[in-house]
């Protein structure tokens, strides 16, 4: 990864050709740290994404349609108020810094023209998107607020004056001369690539290594020639967006990376390159953030039940040892004529023992021999009842563990809408406190499963959570359809929506069942399949739980590439 000043320069050049003069038609905020502008220009819609995600900050044109929240966040509403309907007048990079200014011409409530400036600061985990009143240079709002408690130097809050990020004491590499460049390098100290990064703005360690590698046996002339060639490419906006996949990790750049050994993929535009690199990573990170509290809750509940079983097993062992109480009672009853009231213990021969061993039985001196025997029989009967209760409690706790195992798997593979349905399921089950009581009740949405298309054209439906699983298996699927699930492994319900599927479709459906299960990273995963008519949901069973019969078993290894192909064939 190298989102340096040169990538920003390439992006600004690319965007200026696409969006300047365009009108902001829509504004969305699909995730807390992301803002999406729909810009209409020259008869075409452009989707400009800004993300201040602390892990994957970025900006580029996007083709991915994310699910937007039903209620727009406050920052999104403010951007709509000030920028929707406005015209993009300019987009500029500040020097070679990773700071972008977008000026938007719009009108206020009275119809007077005004200019708003959107400033995107791409600074790693401190990245931010700020809306500025250009006339007063006051902050209208920002996607992330920076309070005095976070930074004394630079507070980013509505109503405060905008303070630029700290300036780096480096030279703009596009203005470098040969004499200056050679004089800045300490040739005898080594680490020339690091020296270039420390001296010049916008130069990442990745690009510096590429320049040094291109220079070969670096001397004054060869290093300058390599450096100046890259600067000429930047000045002329001659870019080659690419991703290089090495054995360790993946990298992206707008210039060649000859020092990396790996698969190189070229792209027509910088935006396409960045979207390809970031989308899957950013989406997983967003889901992880969205589901963090939910996953923690599920794991905690699972751990509670694990600990509960340990305690119950200890109690069960104690209850099982209560057999001695029955023996004591029977021996006391058999030897009543040898026991006197007032004794604190008695030594009796255990006639159940082949060796006729002598047992010492404690007694309550104030009780008669018959009363002491009855006390032991009562203790035995109580322990026997407790044993039955403990067995039932252990079974209940194990059922809870299985349930939370399933939820954990669903959270890890689910999308944002799937996560929300899991949250609703836990609220309905009384595990989580519902936050919907004060809001107007909405008609519940159908938890529709996702549909994949097999290579032979047959639709395969997959439930990504228990709500979808129940809806798919109990309501949507026909009795003659075929149902699949990993054998004794938490996972999704999968239904082949055909009466007589071919072997290829069964194989691919089984692969989907294995992929969307806890065995996603395993090989030769056992998957059971049977017709839907053989699948039943017991009365009172937890969401997603079913029993089935007359099944066959197939062994498959999940292949993400084939699953993506099936996904591409699915209806949108």
Specify the CATH superfamily of domain 5-142. ibrinogen binding protein from staphylococcus aureus domain (2.30.310.10)
pTM listed for this prediction: 0.64
pLDDT per residue, tens digit, the chain (572 aa), is 578 999 999 999 999 999 999 999 999 998 889 999 999 999 999 999 999 988 889 999 998 877 787 789 999 999 999 999 999 999 999 989 999 999 999 987 777 889 999 999 999 889 999 999 988 999 999 999 999 888 878 999 999 999 998 888 899 999 999 999 999 888 888 789 999 999 999 999 999 999 999 988 778 899 999 999 999 999 999 999 999 999 888 899 999 999 999 889 999 999 999 998 887 677 667 677 777 888 889 999 999 999 999 888 887 776 666 778 888 888 899 888 888 899 999 998 888 887 778 889 999 999 999 999 999 999 888 888 877 788 888 888 998 998 898 888 888 777 777 788 888 888 888 888 875 544 455 555 677 889 999 999 999 999 989 999 999 999 999 999 999 999 999 999 999 999 999 999 999 999 999 999 988 889 899 999 999 999 999 988 889 999 999 999 999 999 888 888 888 787 75
Dihedral of alpha carbons 59, 60, 62, 64, sign: negative
Q: Where are the alpha helices (DSSP H) in 495-559?
A: 503-515
CA angle 233, 237, 239 (to 5 degrees): 70
Contacts of 328 (CB under 8 A, 6+ apart): 359, 361, 373, 376
Query: Is residue 452 within 8 Å of 512, Cβ to Cβ?
Result: yes
Angstrom distance (rounded) from CA 413 to CA 469: 14
* Cα 477 to the center of its chain, rounded Å: 29
Q: Which of 51, 23, 29 is nearest to 282 (CA)?
A: 51
Angstrom distance (rounded) from CA 460 to CA 343: 77
Query: Is residue 57 within 8 Å of 127, Cβ to Cβ?
Result: yes
Over the Cα atoms of the chain, what is R_g? 35
- How far CA 9 is from CA of 5, 276, 466, in Å, comes to 6, 19, 47
Angstrom distance (rounded) from CA 121 to CA 67: 25
What residue spans define the domains of the chain?
5-142, 173-266, 287-436, 450-568
DSSP type of residue 134: T
């Amino acid at each position: 990864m190298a989102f340096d000043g040169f990538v920003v320069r390439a992006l600004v050049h690319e965007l200026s050709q696409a969006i300047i003069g365009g009108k902001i038609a829509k504004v969305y905020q699909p995730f807390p740290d992301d803002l999406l502008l729909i810009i209409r220009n020259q008869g075409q819609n452009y989707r400009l994404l800004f993300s201040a995600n602390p892990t994957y900050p970025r900006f580029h044109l996007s083709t991915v349609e994310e699910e937007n929240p039903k209620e727009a966040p406050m920052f999104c509403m403010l951007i709509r108020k000030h920028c929707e309907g406005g015209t993009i007048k300019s987009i500029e990079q500040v020097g070679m810094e990773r700071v972008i200014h977008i000026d938007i011409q719009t009108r206020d409530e009275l119809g007077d023209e005004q200019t708003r400036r959107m400033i995107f600061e791409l600074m790693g985990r401190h990245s931010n998107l700020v809306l500025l009143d250009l006339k007063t240079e006051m902050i209208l709002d920002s996607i992330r607020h920076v309070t005095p408690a976070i930074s004394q130097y630079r507070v980013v809050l509505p109503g405060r004056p905008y303070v630029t990020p700290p300036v780096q004491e480096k030279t703009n590499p596009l203005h470098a001369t040969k004499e200056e460049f050679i004089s800045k390098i300490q040739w005898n100290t080594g680490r020339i690539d690091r020296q270039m990064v420390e001296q010049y703005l916008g130069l990442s360690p990745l690009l510096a290594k590429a320049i040094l590698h291109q220079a070969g046996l670096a001397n004054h002339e060869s290093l300058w020639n390599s450096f100046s060639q890259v600067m000429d490419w930047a000045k002329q906006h001659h870019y080659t967006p690419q991703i290089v996949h090495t054995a360790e990790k993946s990298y992206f750049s707008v210039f060649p990376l000859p020092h990396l050994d790996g698969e190189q993929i070229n792209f027509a535009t910088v935006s396409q390159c960045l979207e390809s690199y970031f989308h899957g990573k950013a989406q997983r990170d967003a889901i992880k953030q969205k589901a963090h509290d939910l996953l923690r809750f599920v794991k905690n509940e699972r751990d509670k039940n694990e600990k509960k079983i340990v305690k119950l097993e200890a109690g069960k062992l104690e209850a099982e040892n209560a057999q001695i109480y029955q023996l004591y009672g029977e021996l006391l009853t058999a030897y009543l004529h040898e026991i006197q009231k007032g004794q604190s213990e008695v030594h009796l021969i255990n006639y159940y023992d082949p060796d006729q061993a002598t047992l010492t039985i404690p007694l309550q001196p104030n009780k008669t021999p018959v009363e002491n025997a009855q006390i032991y029989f009562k203790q035995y009967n109580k322990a026997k009842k407790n044993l039955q209760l403990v067995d039932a409690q252990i079974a209940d706790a194990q059922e809870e563990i299985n349930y939370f195992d399933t939820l954990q798997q669903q959270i890890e593979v689910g999308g944002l809408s799937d996560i929300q349905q899991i949250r609703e399921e836990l609220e309905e089950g009384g595990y989580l406190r519902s936050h919907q009581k004060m809001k107007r009740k909405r008609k519940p949405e159908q938890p529709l499963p996702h549909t994949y298309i097999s290579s032979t054209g047959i639709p395969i439906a997959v439930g990504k959570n228990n709500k979808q699983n129940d809806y798919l298996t109990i309501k949507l699927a026909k009795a003659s359809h075929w149902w699949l699930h990993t054998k004794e492994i938490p996972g999704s319900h999968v239904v082949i929506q055909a009466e007589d599927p071919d072997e290829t479709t069964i194989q691919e459906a089984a692969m989907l069942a294995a992929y969307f299960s806890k065995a996603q990273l395993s090989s030769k995963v056992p998957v059971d399949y049977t017709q839907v008519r053989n699948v039943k949901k017991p009365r009172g069973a937890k969401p997603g739980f079913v029993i089935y019969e007359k099944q066959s078993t197939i062994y498959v290894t999940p292949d993400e590439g084939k699953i993506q192909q099936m996904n591409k064939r699915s209806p949108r």
